[in-house]
Structure 1
Amino acid sequence: MPPTYLFKLAHIQPEIAAYYDLRRKIFVEEQALFQHDDIDALDAIAHPIIAVAPDAPSLEVLGIVRIYEPEPRLWYGGRLGTHPDYRRGWHIGKGLINKAVTTANAWGCDRFLATVQIQNVRFFQRLHWHSLEEIEIRGITHHLMQANLDYYPANNEIRRVLQYSQAS
């Protein structure tokens, strides 16, 4: 039986700081896609989602993703990543994707897109996504992919006003 994880929007400062720390670890230190940090203008409109172990004695963010709405009813997911120690089995990635799309669907999503690194395209296809086109981002092949919203019914997540600052 797969381990149990909790997938939730990060609302309090310790969760948000841990979210940015894991992003930095994955996209700056491990993948070297960015030099110092991966924070961009989209973070001002993004809702961070985290995966945690519900029984852990202290906060440890095991996975991350952000969702944002650049124009009405069009949502994107991005910066999906899992802590290196928890990448076995894809359970965290699958849960984060589900939380991201079902949350956006609850908030009025008509279309949900993501740019997916080439090595993860098949995984997304198994989760009812299809590729729209192949693109290159920061020298790495990605696919612009779209979720089939029929497989991601709206959850009951309440949309909060963004009030937190980015980690530095």
Structure 2
Amino acid sequence: MALHRYSFELAKSSADFKGYFTLRQAIFCEEQGLFDQDDGDTIDGVAYPIVALDHEAPHEDRVVGVVRIYEKSPRLWYGGRLGVHPDYRRVGRIGKGLIHKAVTTANTWGCDRFLATVQEQNVRFFQRLHWDSLEEIVLCDRPHHLMEADLNHYPPGSEVRPVLPWEVQQVS
């Protein structure tokens, strides 16, 4: 089977983790100014990072999109920190691929509801991908919507849920 240019997968290597956090910092701190120096929080300790990889890019630049998923309570999952490198936003499939991988992975792991807080300018994009807006909220002084994915459009896959938190897996 030929390798496709882009793939969407759980971060596994140290290079994937480094690219994941570097891109998050560039988007949410430097570009958008939502956070001062670092967008990390306690959720990173329980979240599963997902990366979009460009297999034609130099190895150190191959992470071109990011998102994280976490189980807030049994069977209730959230996605967050979705971002795409500015050079890849015009591609149009990176964000869609990350959303699909995030929701199908959570659905595989026993999700009954998948929610996300979405910046207002991205609400229509999510609605086209079978998400509903539940309410308007303000986060980091900016308008967002709490949105829910229609799980019928995101069937479970075969992704095995890692047993250990991602920080421990990096050591191997």
Give distance in 1, aligned partners of 2:160 and 2:122.
Answer: 30
Work out the CA distance in 2 between the residues paired with 1:23 and 1:76.
17
Task: Give unpaired runs (5+ residues) of structure 2.
Answer: none
Aligned partners of 2:45 and 2:167 also within 8 Å: no
| CA displacement at 1:57 relative to structure 2 | 4.4
In the alignment, is residue 139 of structure 1 matched against residue 137 of structure 2?
no
**AA paired with 1:77?**
G
Q: TM-score, normalised by structure 1?
A: 0.93
Name the Cα RMSD after superposition.
1.3
Q: How many residues align?
A: 163
CA distance in 1, matches of 2:67, 2:166: 18
Deviation at 1:114, TM superposition (A): 0.2
Provide Cα deviations, 1:77-122, integer angstroms capped at 9, x if missing partner.
Answer: 0000000110004210000000000000000000000000000000
Identity value in percent = 60
Equivalent AA in structure 2 for residue 92 of structure 1: I
| Displacement over 4 Å in runs of 4+ | none
**Paired AA for residue 52 in structure 1:** L
Equivalent residue letter for 2:144: H
Tell me if the contact between 1:133 and 1:144 (Cα under 8 Å) persists in the aligned partners.
Answer: yes
Amino acid at match of 2:57: A
Counterpart of 2:10 in structure 1 is: 9
Matches within 5 A, 1:123-162: 123-160=125-162, 161-162=164-165
Identify which of 56, 71, 76 aligns with 1:69: 71
Q: Deviations over 1:128-158 (max 9, x none)?
A: 0000000000110000000000000001100
Q: Secondary structure at the match of 2:101?
A: helix
Residues 16-165 of structure 1 mapped to structure 2, 5 A cutoff: 16-59=17-60, 60-160=62-162, 161-164=164-167
- Alpha-carbon distance between aligned partners in 2 of 1:117 and 1:67, rounded to the nearest angstrom: 17
Task: Give the aligned residue type for 1:33.
Answer: L
